[in-house]
Structure 1
Amino acid sequence: MSLQEQFDKAAKDVKNLKSLPSDSDLLELYALFKQATVGDADPANKPGMLDLKGKAKFNAWSAKAGTSKEDAQKAYIAKVESLVASLGLQ
């Protein structure tokens, strides 16, 4: 199975977890997914001060700047696999 196929499978599996991961796990998943699919975050799109959720997501994504698409995909797959192991699938 290619890296892209593994990534796509992980993206489907994460939607079928038995319970919701912690906020920190969700931010990590978001950041890795965005880095793998979009690339580095654009500072021009940084959310405003009052958008706390958007700001947290943007900051998590920005922390992954410089990570290659392949490395982000590998890290995302590993994170999903660990969540599946701990939380299980529906």
Structure 2
Amino acid sequence: MSLQAQFDQAVADSKNLPERPDNMTLLKIYALFKQATEGDVEGKRPGFTDMVGRAKFDAWDGLKGTGKEEAMQQYIDLITELKG
């Protein structure tokens, strides 16, 4: 199975995890997805009043320079781990 197919399956699986991950894990899932699908973060960091937006931006920004394939693999590994 291709990396893209595995990634697509992991994205589908992420919606049916046995239990909801904690917020830090959810941020990691979000950041890896964005890095895998869009590459490095762009734009300005959200303002102080948008705490969720800032957390998402910072998580994604922390992956800057990670290749799309690498991000896909990390995403697949994380979802596989969360599925148990």
| Normalised-by-shorter TM-score class | over 0.9
Displaced runs of 4+ in structure 1, greater than 6 A? none
Structure 2, unpaired ranges of 5+? none
Question: What do residues 23-68 of structure 1 show as CA deviations (whole Å, max 9, x unaligned)?
Answer: 11100000000000000001x2321111000100000000000000
Structure 1, unpaired ranges of 5+? 86-90
Alignment TM-score, normalising by the size of structure 1:
0.90
How many residues are matched?
Answer: 84
- 2:71 aligns to what? 72
- 2:34 aligns to what? 34
- 1:9 aligns to what? 9
Whole-angstrom CA distance in 2 between matches of 1:4 and 1:78: 13
Aligned identity (percent) is: 50
